[in-house]
Structure formats: structure tokens, C-alpha cells
Structure 1
Amino acid sequence: MQATATPPLTAPGSDAVAAVVSGLRDRFGDRLSTGQAVREQHASTLTWAPSQPPDAVVFATSTAEVQAVMRLCAEHRVPVIPFGTGSSLEGHVNAPFGGVSVDLSGMNRILAVNAEDLDCVVEAGLTRKALNVALRDQGLFFPIDPGADASFGGMAATRASGTNAVRYGTMRDAVLALTAVTPNGEIVRTGSRARKSAAGYDLTRLLVGSEGTLGLITELTLRLSGIPEAISAGICSFPSVKAACDAVILTIQTGIPVARIELLDEMQVRACNAYSKLSLPETPLLLLEFHGTDASVREQAARFGEIAGGEGAAPFSWARETEARNRLWQARHDAYWAALALRPGGRAVATDVCVPISRLAECVAETKRDILETGLVAPIVGHVGDGNFHVQPVVDVDDPEEVARVAGFVDRLVARALAMDGTCTGEHGIGQKKIRYLEAEHGPEAVALMRSLKQAFDPLGIMNPGKVLRG
């Protein structure tokens, strides 16, 4: 299957771009910025991906305003790049062909909370922490937690998951319905508040994970959960990464409904101790959390303790008080910044893979050996309950030899995961940096079908170009 050729985009700085900027200024006034500092803030800033700022940034406050931007850009064939909080790690918000970045941070309202049905409707710029603060008094929470205080539009676009995914699933499971603006400026609504449907193609799940290449999400209907009666967290140190991963495998295989189970290798623990002022044992450890009733939480913890003891783990260290528990999880969420502090002046190469849970220990152990043999500063953390782990080499980008070593390491990491029937990315997405792995994972026929879908949704090729697919 071969898609027809996409027309060339308007060049950055061209008369067409100037016409779009002029039109947007007439409509948005001071909510349209072409200042260098603002444009650079709306490009890749967190990893070693080169920063590619847009020509302009528009701050939208409604679906109708997003529609107006899209129609003007489509008329002049100018790229559109969605922007939530900028926390993605694979260059998703870069503008390699110039264009207009649509900042949705002003679209941050909660439109409805249906407590009886355990769902809510929110605008795409709302962040998960803001929603959970608002839901707390109703005994509800949104469980998907990627670490960063990301916006829901970005979380849906990248099919985010995070620390709670092992129990509560990912954004694929959490999004019931969407409102999106298509690249030709139409407003579409997909799905409904019903918990299941057999009506037509599942456009909701097609847009979830499309990384802003098929349309711009402006509203979401989200599945909620009740706040558990009891929550208990703890840490458990292991003699090796393999022992920790083997304990995870047994925990999942025996059906213990752990809510969170996170791996930190010894380098990451050392980084977290220094950055977050902790005193954790500097050996591989698992950071766990159990949700349920008081009785079920105690039972889950006891069953896990038996498994961990069989793998040579140290006794559990509990954090039962909310403050202590939050401090541990904040340290885990700050792992990115802690890793950067291991090498001041270095840039992060944050990457992830995911493998079947039965291959987790093997994949992580081989990756550890590769890191040692390659001589990298590259801590490992992972949402290992679902086989997903992250490696973050910290690299001197001015050293071509080191950059080449890191690039080779990432290639081997992905090849290792694919050879184990895994994926090149469990949650970061493809963006710009992992395009070259897509065909190796899915095959040329599947990628050709993806191109056909892209062509059908976006015949002008203006929607977040240069991401997911080449060209």
C-alpha cells in the first residue's frame, strides 16, 4: 500500500508564514508571540535533540480558537505543532519545518465531573496534578502518573503511562472520548461516556498515541478511580538488578495486585540520594506501593516480602505516613534531574524500551553489562511491573566520540528489546529520535499503512511534521 505524495510545506520565514503570523496577530493580539525566548521555550529543551523553534507561538483558550489557527495554517500550508507543557522527551514539540506552535496551557478548565460514573471532562491544557487537587474532596483521583506534571492533551497524544500503569493501565485505557481539531480545521468528537461501544472505527484510540500528527486534541473525557482506603509504600534493596527484576516477575506472575513497582539501579539510587537528600542503601532497589483496604494491603505486602526474601533482598523499609511516602515518590519523579546532576554540564539522552515481563531480568542485566562495557554514565529506572524501563545516559554533546558511543548503545538497547518481542518505546513515543526504529519493529507493510492513515487525516502534511514517520 502506497500513499500519494504529500505537497511540500511552506518554508520557514516565507511570505506564507508572514501572512499566517499577520492573520494570527489580528485575531490573538498579544497572545501571539514571535519573540526568540518564547519560541525557544516551545522547542525541545530536555534532551540532546537539537532545539528547533517554531516561527510563532499562539496561546489558544478554546477549541474554536484552535480551529481558527488550523484553518489559517492549512490555507497557507504552514505546519502546526501542539504544545502542552513541553515535558516530552523525543523531540515532539520541535518545529523542524518551522510553523506555529499552539500552546494549550490556557485551556485548563475542568468542564464536568460525573462522580457517579467515575469520569470527568477536561480541556487539554489541564495538568494531572491540578485535576487531582480538584477531585480530592470527592474521593476520586486520576491514576495515570508519568512523573512530570504533564497536560492531558500531551499525555493522550503520547499515550503516556507511568508509575501506576501496572494496576491502572495507560492513557489508552483512561481516555473514553476526545474532541480534536483535524488538520483541515474540522472539529470532531470521538467516543462517548459509555464504558464500551461497538459503533464504528475506534477513532479515540487512533488519536491517542498519534503524537499530534493526525489532529490537535482539545478536550478529553477521562476515566477516574476512587481514592483507596489504604495506601502503603516501601523500599526493598536487592543484591543485584537481576534479583530485583526476578522478584518483579514473580510478583506479577503470582497475581499480587501491586499498584506501583519501580526499579532504581545503584547509580540512580546514588543520584537520588545526592539530589533529594535521602539516605537509601546504594544498591538496586524496588520502590513499591500497595492500594486497597487495610487488610488487603497488609496481605499484599506480606506476600511480596516472601518473594523478595527468596531473591536475597533486605527487609522491607516502610513509609506509612503520607509525608514520608510523598517524599520517596517525589525523589523517584525527580530521577531525571538527579541523573543530570551526576555530570554537571552534560545533556540527557532519556530513552526507554519495554519487553514481556518474563524477559525483563535478562534485558535489564544485558543492558547493565552494555553500559559498563561502553563506559557510560547511564542510570536505569523503570516501571518494571509492566516490563518498561528507562536508561538515561548523560553525555558531553561536544565530544563526537562519546556521542557516537551513546548512539550505538541506544541502537543496541532497541535491538535487544525487539529481539525479545518487545518495543522500541514503552511510553516516550517515537517523536523525532526513534523514527528509524519504527520499521524494524512493525515491518514495512504496517508502516506503509500508517503513512496511508496520515495521508487520509492530513493530506497537506501540516500536522506536527517530522514526527513518527519520515518525510
Structure 2
Amino acid sequence: MGLATVGREETTSSGDIEAAVSKLRDLFGERCAVSRAVREQHGHTTSLLGNQMPDAVVFAQSTEEVSQVVRICAAHGTPIVPFGTGTSLEGHINAPAGGVCIDMSGMNEVLRVHAEDLDCVVQPGITRGKLNEYLRDTGLFFPIDPGADASIGGMVATRASGTNAVRYGTMKDNVLALEVVMPDGTIVRTGSRAKKSSAGYDLTRLLVGSEGTLGIITEITLRLQGIPEAISGGICPFPSVEAACNAVIMTIQSGIPVARIELLDTLQVKACNLHSKLTLAEVPTLFLEFHGTKAGVAEQSELFGEIAAEFEGGPFKWTDKAEERTKLWHARHEAYWACLELRPGCKSVTTDVCVPISRLAECVEATREDIEATGLIAPIVGHVGDGNFHVSILVDPESEAEVEAAHAFIGRLNLRAIEMEGTCTGEHGVGQGKMKYLEREHGDALDVMRAVKKGIDPLNIMNPGKIITM
């Protein structure tokens, strides 16, 4: 199974799609693109899946325009695929049945900030980086940081998390309400700005993580956090991955309010040294960050140093100087690109799993042994404070043997995590790539998901071929 373009799954007649595209071109003019280059850009994937293009791309600028597109597509049974910035990793934006892609990047405004209530209302196309730039003068920030400068809408759709999740939670914990265009074009709101509610089904949580299969998110109300008075961060080397993981477990169980705690294995540290011009010891290493008062972050840093020493780690070198911390976290965020320098010309295929924190060391160690036995080059990096880690497999796309070995390894990794009472994806989402593991993970609950999907989207036009088969 190579990286070639995957064939189209026919779920509706091409004539129906052509009729829908014709109406959309009449309505939107140049903002309904049909050129091959634009369509390929909106069907790309960073996984082992091939590119599956839509038939047209509409660049929407308002909720009302999204509703218009959906109504036309619904009338013609035409599939719809929402698009943010294209940073998803499991084929979420592929169009296996063709249809229309709705590009949300033009809907990128901060609509309202309620500083006194610690919340804001934004459009889905704004990226987390731009949002935090906008918020900087208010003394507030949005804490979810998946690494890539993803769109907020895409982060909601995939239930993203990232480096700060151990302290601030994931997107499901930080979304108060949504405005959503449903599969018939109806515009609904799923909640209010109240911090809690007992009024009816929790539609917000249902739509967070639905990956565009139930509706298209057009407005988001987010929780915000105050920018900490003080931040400290640093690095701590360990003699083994197992020792580093055990130090993480002890840190969490000790109740130290760590904001970030990231694991880089030896190969990932080597890649970061090459790419970001660092001089770290090439051994398993933890990157950490603490938020709070000046005295608080100093105390937390010292406590962690004592825990690390119990597992033969250290010395733990930490700083509260912003420029030094920024350099370290920039290197961590560049980890994907750094990996590519280990095998120039190869493709980095990234996958993730999440397990209970008590099984973290066991799962990571078993995965490392699997990598060595398979002969793959695959650095490990992870948001290990909540049991989530990633493996970046460097694959020659022209080598069928390597592609097959990568597929087999990913399968073993996902099943290993599920058997440890974990999940096949902690934050990347299901898309197309993880669908095959959901039955093992969810069992009969998958039928409940199908019933929800069928009830809300009976025509199966909303991002079909993702999460579940109908």
C-alpha cells in the first residue's frame, strides 16, 4: 500500500455534484475555485493516505455563506468537507467521495472579548497564534497549544490538546458554546457564555471532536486564562526513556501543578540539536514549564529536581528568562521539521496514542523496543504529563517495504495502547487513518455513534468517510 492517490468512493452521482458546483460558481464567482492546483491543496494529507481532491473549493466569508453552500449541497446530495489550515494528520480533509470543500480561512476575526468573564468569541479561521497576539494587551491568553499554528475551528473539530493540556485541559474543556451550520443549512447555537449549565443535551461537547461529520462550526466561544505572573522552564536529561517516564508519573502523582512536561527520546534530541542548533546531551530528555507566582514556580522547579534525582535524572537546569525558554520551546515545536533532517528526502508519518499515566513507561518502552526490532527510524516525542505521546516514522515513500512496515507498526502501536486501557488517538483525531481501530476501542458504542450521525446527517453529506462508516 503506497502513497499514490486513492480512488474516489462514489456515494452520489457525478451529475449531482456538477449541478451543485455550477450553482455555487454562479453564486460565488471566483471564490468557488475548480482549478486542480487549488483542489489538490485542499485534499493533501501528511499521513500514509493518498490525496483525494474535492470537485470545488468555496472560500466562505460569513456564517450565512456557509449556510448557503450547505443548502445547495444538501439539495443535490453533494458531500461537504470543511477546511481550516490543513494541519490535521489523519486524512480529515480528504474528499473520498468528491464534493465541495468549504475553506474557512477567510472567517478569521475575533468578534468579542469579555475580559472580565475570561472568555472570547471568535470565527473558526483564526489561528491560535493570531488569537494570542490579539489578546496579549488584555493580560489574557488561550492556553491550548497543539504545536502547529492550527485554526481554532480545526482544533475544535479534532478536539485538539497539546503541550499545555496537563495544566489547562483540551479543547473540550475550553469551549463554552458553538454556532454551527447543520447538514440542512440551519444555523444553531449550542450553548451560552455561562460557565456551567444543566439545560438539555450537551451539544457543544457532541460537536467538539466531531471532525466536520455533524455540522460546520462558524463561531466559537472560548475560555481564556490570565497570563501567569511568572513562568519557569527547563530541561532534564535521564539515563533511559523508562526513567524519564517514571519521573513524569511521580511528578503528576505528587500534585506538582506542572504546565508543560514533554518527553524527547534520544533520536528526537539529536534531531532538535541539528535543526535548532542546540547542544543538548543526546539522551532521553524532559522539557518542563511551570506557571504561577515567582516563589511558586521556583518551588515547583526545585521539587521536580528532587524527583528527577530519585530516577537518576538531572541536573535539572531551569530558568525564568523568557528568551531562554522561548528558544527551548521553539525547538520543541519544530520537532516535526527537525525529524526530516535525520533522513533527507523521506516523509515523516506521525501517529499518536494515549494511555493511563500509570502505564506510560511500559507503553513507551514497548514502543521503543518495537521500533528497534522493526528497523524503523522513528523518534518519540510526547505530552507525557497526560499519557499522550507521538511517534514520527521516517519513510521512503518509494519503498513499498518501508511503507508496509510503517503501516504494521502503527497498527501494533494503536492496539497496544487500547489493550492498556488507553486510546488509539489522544489528540490527532480519527479522520480516515484511525477508523479501523475504533471497533476495538469502542465496541457496541460505535453503533450509538452511527445512530447519532444518521439522525443528524441522514444524507451522509458532512465529511463522509471519516470516523465511522455508515
The answer to whether the 8 Å contact 1:264/1:380 transfers is: yes
CA distance in 2 between partners of 1:124 and 1:314 (Å): 42
The answer to whether the Cα contact below 8 Å between 2:272 and 2:332 also exists between their aligned partners in 1 is yes
Quick one: which of 4, 8, 11 aligns to 1:9? 11
Q: Distance in 1 between matches of 2:425 and 2:44?
A: 18
Matching of residue 239 in structure 1 with residue 239 in structure 2: yes
Q: In the alignment, what sits opposite 1:452?
A: 451
Alignment map for 1:94-133 (pairs within 5 Å): 94-133=94-133
Q: Displacement of 1:314 after TM fit? A: 2.1
Contact kept? 1:112, 1:122, Cα under 8 Å: yes
What do the CA deviations read for 1:104-140 (whole angstroms, capped 9, x no partner)?
0000011100000000000011111111011111100
Q: CA deviation at 1:317?
A: 2.0
Answer yes or no: is 1:226 the counterpart of 2:226. yes
Amino acid at match of 2:275: Y
Letter in 2 for 1:469: I
Deviations 1:247-293 (A, max 9, x none): 00000000000000000000011111111111111110000000000
- SS of residue matched to 2:231: strand
Q: Which residue of 1 aligns with 2:4?
A: none
Q: Which amino acid aligns with 1:184?
A: D
Structure 2 distance, partners of 1:308, 1:164, is: 20
> C-alpha separation between the residues in 2 aligned to 1:355 and 1:125?
31
Code of the aligned partner of 2:188: V
Provide Cα deviations, 1:312-331, integer angstroms capped at 9, x if missing partner: 11212224321221121111
Equivalent residue pairs, number: 461
Cα RMSD for the two superposed structures:
1.0
1:4 maps to none
Question: Which amino acid in structure 2 is aligned with residue 232 of structure 1?
Answer: S
2:259 counterpart residue number: 259
Contact 2:106 2:125 (8 Å CA) reproduced? yes
The answer to whether the 8 Å contact 2:45/2:94 transfers is no
Matched, 1:329 2:363: no
CA distance in 2, matches of 1:179, 1:403: 41
| Alpha-carbon distance in 2 for matches of 1:222, 1:366 | 38
Aligned residue number for residue 3 of structure 1: none
CA contact (8 A) 1:395 1:402 kept: yes
How many Å separate the matches in 2 of 1:348 and 1:211?
Answer: 23
Q: Which amino acid aligns with 1:332?
A: R
Alpha-carbon distance in structure 1 between the residues aligned to 2:11 and 2:45: 25
Assess if the C-alpha contact under 8 Å between 1:48 and 1:347 holds in 2. no
What is the letter of the counterpart of residue 453 of structure 1? V
Q: Distance in 1 between matches of 2:326 and 2:27?
A: 44
Taking structure 1 as the reference length, the TM-score comes to 0.97
State the Cα distance separating 1:184 from its structure 2 match.
Answer: 0.9
Deviations 1:394-444 (A, max 9, x none): 11222222222111111111111111110000000110011000000010x
Work out whether residues 43 and 51 of structure 2, in 8 Å CA contact, stay in contact via their aligned partners in 1: yes
Give secondary structure in 2 for the equivalent of 1:262. Answer: strand
1:374-411 deviation per Cα after TM superposition (whole angstroms, max 9, x unaligned): 00010000000000000111112222222221111111
8 A contact 2:45–2:93 mirrored in 1: no
Partner of 2:6: none
1:433 aligns with 2:433: yes
Q: CA deviation at 1:16?
A: 1.8
- Segments of structure 2 that go 5 or more residues without pairing to the other structure are 1-9
Contact in 1 for aligned 2:343/2:394 (Cα 8 Å): yes
The corresponding residue for 1:27 is 27
Match of 2:461 in 1: 462
Give the C-alpha shift of residue 15 in structure 1. Answer: 2.2
SS of the equivalent of 1:206 reads helix
Letter in 1 for 2:41: Q
What is the Cα deviation at residue 48 of structure 1? 2.3
Residue aligning to 2:5 = none
Task: Tell whether the 8 Å contact from 1:44 to 1:92 is kept in structure 2 after alignment.
Answer: no
Per-residue CA distance 1:29-81 (angstroms, 9 max, x = gap) = 11111111111111123232211111111100100000000000000011000
- In 1, distance between residues paired with 2:190 and 2:214? 13
**Structure of greater relative contact order (alpha carbons < 8 Å, 6+ residues apart):** 1
1:244 Cα deviation (Å)? 0.4
Identity across aligned pairs (percent)? 66
Q: Which amino acid aligns with 2:29?
A: G
Q: What amino acid maps onto 1:66 in structure 2?
A: V
**Counterpart mapping for 1:52-451 below 5 A:** 52-443=52-443, 445-451=444-450
Deviations 1:337-360 (A, max 9, x none): 111221122122210000000110
Deviation at 1:234, TM superposition (A): 0.2
- For residues 281 and 40 of structure 2, what CA distance do their matches in structure 1 show? 40
CA distance in 2 between partners of 1:94 and 1:43 (Å): 5
| Contact 2:45 2:90 (8 Å CA) reproduced | no
TM-score after normalising by structure 2: 0.97
Contact 2:228 2:293 in 1 (8 A): yes
The answer to whether the 8 Å contact 1:176/1:193 transfers is yes
Structure 1 residue 147: deviation in Å?
0.5
Counterpart code for 1:122? V
- Output the CA distance in 2 between the equivalents of 1:436 and 1:427: 17
Q: Which runs of 5+ in 1 are unaligned?
A: 1-7
Q: Distance in 2 between matches of 1:57 and 1:122?
A: 23
Between 1:142-151 and 1:17-26, the stretch displaced more is: 17-26
Q: Is the 8 A contact 1:355 1:421 kept in 2?
A: yes
Letter in 1 for 2:457: D
* Partners of 1:394 and 1:166 in 2: CA distance: 28
Maintained 8 Å contact 1:48/1:348: no
Instruction: Give the partner amino acid of 1:9.
Output: T
State how far apart, in whole Å, the 2-side matches of 1:32 and 1:360 are: 47
2:39 matched to 1:39? yes
- Please state whether the residue corresponding to 2:188 is helix, strand or coil: strand
Q: Secondary structure at the match of 1:217?
A: strand
